[in-house]
Chains A and B, each alone.
Chain A
Amino acid sequence: MKARRHELRAAVGFLLPNLLGFLVFTAGPVLFSLALSFSNWHLHRTIPFHWIRFGNFVELARDREFWLYSINTVYLMLGMPVAIAGSLLLAILLSQRLRGIVVYRTLFYLPTFTSGVALMLLWKALYNPEFGAFNVVINWVLDALRVEAVVRALGGAGVSAPAWLLSTKNLLGLEVERVGTAAGQWGLGARDALIIMGVWIAIGGNNMLLYLAGISNIPTELVEAAQLDGAGRWAVFRNVTWPQLAPTTFFIVVMSFIGGLQGGFEQARVMTQGGPAGTTTTLAYYIYTKAFEEFQIGYAAALSWVLFTGIFIITMLNWKLGGKELSY
């Protein structure tokens, strides 16, 4: 008993610094922000502090910008399945026993440890409407296939390469100022540009490493048994590799959802300042704007908690729907 108490004291002693740090710098602020979300706290001292119960949340439901930026946030996550599939494909390729495979792995992982701002500036140049690599290729293809002439002959208005970061257009035709779609908004624009960049960064990132680790943990006897039974590459992948990677995929999906819903701040700040016309403003960027540019701390706290609740519900749904399959 005495030994146990001694052990407990030692454990608490070792844990205390971390625990105190967690309580003071994480749990405390989180609870404080929850309390603030029920207040009208504003940094302007002419606005007296009041507890307003659910006032911020009611206001939020009526806030058109909140809905528009929520849509932007979700839209920017559309690249997620492609990024995950790309990571898996890359991990499979990089798990082959090839000469110099370590060099390839390092090269593909490079974007992850390169400065985000530097990457974004590079992509900004790639998206230049006339001289950027994307439009040079697109224009070359359009010229070679005489697409412009064909479209005009068919009575269309012509075809031009997208203006990328300068355009409010998007693949779903989402409107700029209200929740809905419009034919004139269909095309490629700033939001799609950010998705493409996000996919490129994510493919060779941590997801690829996780898949690599997952693949290396698949028992070779399972693969060999399948091959002995006459299974081809696709059958091995479908019946052995993919099911064995289910826990990894589940983890990646959950983390991608969380990251996606919280994301978009850095890109918006560096590449578009949330524009054009607010089309690349995400919820994270909106929270920053409300708290630190407009000083509506209470409202920003409410926004943060709505975002947290959204993330929490989606994560729970993921667990509920995806967790069942995890029997490995």
Chain B
Amino acid sequence: MRAFFAATFCALAALSGIAWLIRPAPGREGATPLVWVSDDNPARREQIALFNELHPQYDMRLDPTAGMEKVILQCLAGVGPDVFDCFNPWQLDAFVRSGVAWDVTEELAKRGVNVEEEVWPAILPTAMREGRVYGFPANVAVDALWINKDLFDAAGEPYPEGPWTWEEFLPVAKRLTLRDERGRPKQFGFLCDWWQWPQFIMQWGGNVYTPDGTRCIIDGPEAIGAIQFLHDLMYKHRVMPTPVDEAVMATQGGWGSGTITHFGAGRGAMALGGRWWLCTLRDYEGLNLGVVECPHAKRRVFRAYGRATIVNAHSPRREQALDFLLYQAGKEYNDLINRQADAVSAVIRYTYTPEFLHNPDHPEEDYNEVWREVIKYAQTDDTSPFINGQTASRIIERQLDLVKNDQKPVAQAMRDAAREVNEAIAKTLEMDPELRARYRELTGRDRP
């Protein structure tokens, strides 16, 4: 028996030795390793390669597996990345309130970077909170209307021009929606992801929260009107796919899922989407594309979103990680973003270059000025500091699910959403004395 255990021990020791010998190669010798949590795609890998090339003293690597919740837990446990992505103001709020986002206001100022002056204002809330800077915006996306020129030509429809309104849009979308003899859709006039609902509320003059974030007002008449319009596009005007139509389209020959692939496959004449769609649409051969400003309602305003890079406050290499932010503020990175069409560069001056307007590798993309123009009218989503963004999103999405599936009247769903979000705000205030004090200061009350 002893011999058996000794042999097992020796075998395990030998296997450990082999594992040690074949372990992944360490980074470049002498280079400081840095880890960036972001999504893995060819554009991101190219951005990392350029950083490593420009800064040979670092060896930046991608960690594509971690979402916001994992990043927070890893950072708090002391095993977090050096830098990570932040996609919206409420994520930044969660990062800051958990203590994992490093306040880099002074550090960036010392290095001559003025985030507020250099970056498109619409994307600042993903990196700035209450006047403090926690990162640098990596790109900015504002949606416009993609048009499939071939489908317009086939219908003898002139290409639209912006600015224009949803009223002007509707007859065009109806003319471009085609159905077969059984009434089944062959082509939709308009494709739009349901998560773009905040843009409609903004355009209708509504809000999700009051300006101070103390109360959810998604049940206001403007917000209800906006969601009603979105619902009507599917069920009344029938120019946009219902969830059932979407599911059906996703299985038809060669189709992937998602609005981009539906549009790329020619199943929609117009689609609401960002410049970043080009990362996928460039792979479709023979697509004859155009871009026009998204129609507007009462307000000519568009929703801005994008990514900012935040430095982990607990990282032992946070000083070095700052160089990555400086890289993102620089010309090489921003030119690369514009060239890749990974949305639009967040730094304003790099969108005012001839290369931005006319990418020599893609001369057919003659619509880049539209992307720059719409950013001027952009704003980010409403947020409230008094509720966890995930909680609010879960509540609102659940109600919108019922609207989207035509199972609940819009007004009722919005009223229920507002009530539940306000109840959740009240719960947060019960838990958080700091927020409660702030709430009382703003409203004179302890709860909504």
A-side residues, CB < 8 A to B, are: 40, 42-48, 125, 128-132, 163, 165-168, 176-177, 275-278, 289, 292-295
Contact = CB atoms under 8 A, between A and B. Distances in A.
B76 A43 contact: yes
Closest 10 CB pairs of A and B: A292-B69, A44-B97, A130-B248, A277-B401, A293-B390, A46-B434, A131-B251, A128-B251, A45-B99, A276-B401
B391 interface: yes
B18 interface: no
Contacts of A278: 398, 401
B94 A295 contact: yes
5 contacts: A48-B433, A166-B247, A167-B405, A277-B407, A289-B390
B62 interface: no
A163 B432 CA distance: 43
Given A46-B434, A294-B391, 17 more contacts: A43-B73, A45-B99, A47-B432, A47-B433, A125-B251, A128-B247, A129-B247, A130-B247, A131-B252, A163-B243, A166-B405, A167-B405, A177-B416, A276-B405, A277-B405, A293-B394, A295-B72
A130 B182 CA distance: 13
A18 to B, nearest CB: 15
A129 B405 contact: no
B403 to A, nearest CB: 10
Contacts of A165: 247
B69 to A, nearest CB: 4
B243 A166 contact: yes
A43 B98 contact: yes
A165 B70 CA distance: 28
Interface residues of B, number: 33
Nearest to B68: A293
Nearest to A176: B402
Contact of B73 (A40, A276, A289, A292): A292
B387 to A, nearest CB: 10
Nearest to B423: A64
A293 B394 CA distance: 10
Interface string B363-391: 00000000000000000000000001011
A155 to B, nearest CB: 23
Contacts of B243: 163, 166
A168 B405 contact: yes
Interface of B: 69-70, 72-73, 76, 94, 97-99, 243-244, 247-248, 250-252, 388, 390-391, 394, 397-399, 401-402, 405, 407, 416, 431-435
A131 B248 contact: yes
A46 B244 contact: no
A92 B416 CA distance: 52
A176 B398 CA distance: 10
A275 B431 contact: no
B56 to A, nearest CB: 37
A40 B431 contact: yes
A277 B406 CA distance: 12
Nearest to B70: A292
B250 A128 contact: yes
Contacts of B391: 294
B390 A42 contact: no
A295 B247 contact: no
A130 B244 contact: yes
Contacts of B76: 43
A277 B402 CA distance: 6
A294 B388 contact: yes
Contacts of B397: 275
B252 A42 contact: no
B247 A45 contact: no
Nearest to A40: B431
A295 B97 CA distance: 11
Contacts of A46: 97, 432, 434-435
A44 B401 contact: no
Contact of A47 (B394, B402, B431): B431
Nearest to A279: B401
B75 to A, nearest CB: 10
A295 B98 contact: yes
B251 A132 contact: yes
A44 B244 CA distance: 40
B445 to A, nearest CB: 19
A176 B403 CA distance: 13
Contacts of B251: 125, 128, 130-132
Contacts of A163: 243-244, 405
Contacts of A275: 397-398, 401
A45 B401 contact: no
Contacts of B416: 177
